[in-house]
Structure 1
Amino acid sequence: MHDMSVKWPNGARCAVMLTFDFDAETLWTSRDPDNANRPGVLSQGKYGAKVGVPKILDTLEEEGLKGTFFVPGWTAENHTGRVEMILKAGHEVGHHSYSHRWVSDDPAAEVEEMEKGLEALKRTVGVVPKGYRSPAGEVSAGLFKLLQKHNFLYNSSLMDDINPYRHILPDGSKGPVELPWHWSLDDAPYALFSVKSPRPIFTNAHMLDVYKEEFREIYKWGGLYDIIFHPQIVGRPSRIALLRELIAFIRTFPDVWFATGTEVAEAWVAEYEKA
């Protein structure tokens, strides 16, 4: 028997991170710069800021839960009030690049995206983030050195485990703690539609099926359930209902610990890296 379970705080059986990638318009401009001149396309991202974030915050408040919002620097500059609203409600804000561009094959651009994003979060809302998530899970070999340089506690960009672990860099030094995710626990593959890449939009029943089955087994394994939502997707009326239903389902299981990225990483460090 390979026991993969983690010792979570207070005897919790599994940890749940509700995370929200607040890309807003950058989701559309980063893939196709011409979208900057397409108000129709951009309006999908705008919906995330205008309607999605307040509805998500209402839902989390009703449930008494804290989430982790990964915010690009551009979003912090252009939707500052919404990021302030997230912070005021007691949620964590993490780093999610500056403009959501894919830069894994361009080291100079990667440094720029990292540093511009950090600068924007600090300047607009006074946040020095402890966690990082790369746009669309695109990661370069140099990212971990960059995260170490900027003193990040954790990264949530890789898909090679269901539990936290510590990155060890090639020189033997400690990198950030990894909080793994997976595409199956992301709303985008099921519900993000665009004319340029048309794909089916799945029903709540379909999405909940995947989310619940994954939760059942991660719970059994004693792992980390790190689910990713986007305000422009989960903020739609029926998807807010999905979020409520998923939380209610998870709460039917005893000993579940809902936590922010920083709480999960700190708890893991405290348990597994005792001096």
Structure 2
Amino acid sequence: MIDKSVNWPGGARIAVMLTFDFDAETLWTSRDPSNARRPGILSQGVYGAKVGVPKILETLAEEELKATFFVPGWTAEHHPQRTEMIVAGGHEVAHHSYSHNWIDPDFPDKEVEEMEKGLDALKRVVGVVPRGYRSPAGESSDSMIRLLHKHGFLYDSSLLDDVVPYRLKLPDGTKGPVELPWHWSTDDAPHALFSVKSPRPIFPNSHILEIFQDEFREIYRWGGLYNLVMHPQVIGRPSRIALLREMIGFIKSFPNVWFATGTEVAEAWSAAHDA
């Protein structure tokens, strides 16, 4: 077996990040701008803010856990009370673009606009200067990595090419942020997000839990990073909140597990590897 182990704080076997992409309506307007005129479609995103975020925060408080919420600037501006609730709960707020538009390497100016408008919104609405970034749909570019370095980001969580953190490098070899990898298999959207324009099955909790738990078991054996990606409009549904509670209980049943925010994971990795 390839040794992927990391020396996590306190002798932990695995680091666990509970992350929530609080896209709200931007998930739908970024896919199709005409959705801005479709209240029915947008209401799925509204549910994430109206119901999903409070139920997630309630669950995290009951479990005494801190999470990382990746928040587009538009979401912060249009759902300021919910964004403030996240901060008040002691959770990390990280950057997730401004309007959830996917990165296109052919349009670097748009990347700059999304980055700067998002930074401005988070600072203005909740007084947060984010230390982490996650790109919409995991799309990235060399220009984005340079932007993250320019703005002093500690970490990025956009790429899917490992199960342990590593250091990004700019095209000229300069050290960039720490990468905290994720994967679609540990993302709730492929399993339970429904779109009328591209319909697919909504899987039961048993299906999703099997995938989430199997991934956890093996990453635990390797000693890596378990980066669970969720969306308030998906995981915030009643049965999915039950799934979240069950998944947390499952993880807690293992010894030597370290629950941490993105910043905590990146700082721990940097301390161990950049000395």
TM-score normalized with structure 1 length: 0.99
Write the mapping of 1:10-159 to structure 2, written as runs, cut at 5 A.
Answer: 10-105=10-105, 106-159=107-160
| Amino acid across the alignment from 2:84 | E
Counterpart in the other structure of 1:9: 9
Deviation at 1:236, TM superposition (A): 0.1
- CA deviation profile, 1:44-92 (whole Å, cap 9, x unmatched): 0000000000000000000000000000000000000000000000000
Write the mapping of 1:183-262 to structure 2, written as runs, cut at 5 A.
Answer: 183-262=184-263
Count of aligned pairs: 274
Counterpart in the other structure of 1:182: 183
Deviation at 1:187, TM superposition (A): 0.4
Segments of structure 1 that go 5 or more residues without pairing to the other structure are: none
Q: Matched residues, percent identical? A: 73
Q: Distance in 1 between matches of 2:169 and 2:34?
A: 40
Q: Distance in 1 between matches of 2:254 and 2:247?
A: 12
- The answer to whether the 8 A contact 2:138-2:158 is kept is yes
Counterpart in the other structure of 1:268: 269
Deviation at 1:204, TM superposition (A): 0.2
Q: Distance in 1 between matches of 2:90 and 2:214?
A: 30
| Amino acid across the alignment from 2:265 | V
Q: Which moved more, 1:96-105 or 1:242-251?
A: 96-105
Segments of structure 2 that go 5 or more residues without pairing to the other structure are: none
SS of equivalent to 2:15: strand
- The answer to whether the 8 A contact 2:103-2:135 is kept is no
Please identify runs of 4+ aligned residues in structure 1 that moved more than 3 A: none
Q: Distance in 1 between matches of 2:182 and 2:161?
A: 8
SS of equivalent to 2:227: strand
SS of equivalent to 1:268: helix
CA-based RMSD:
0.7
Q: Distance in 2 between matches of 1:49 and 1:31?
A: 19
Deviation at 1:4, TM superposition (A): 1.1
Q: Distance in 2 between matches of 1:178 and 1:162?
A: 10
Q: Distance in 2 between matches of 1:76 and 1:44?
A: 17
Q: Distance in 2 between matches of 1:176 and 1:203?
A: 37
Counterpart in the other structure of 2:162: 161
Q: Which moved more, 1:135-144 or 1:122-131?
A: 135-144
Q: Distance in 2 between matches of 1:220 and 1:104?
A: 37
| Amino acid across the alignment from 2:244 | L
Q: Distance in 2 between matches of 1:91 and 1:102?
A: 25
Deviation at 1:171, TM superposition (A): 1.7
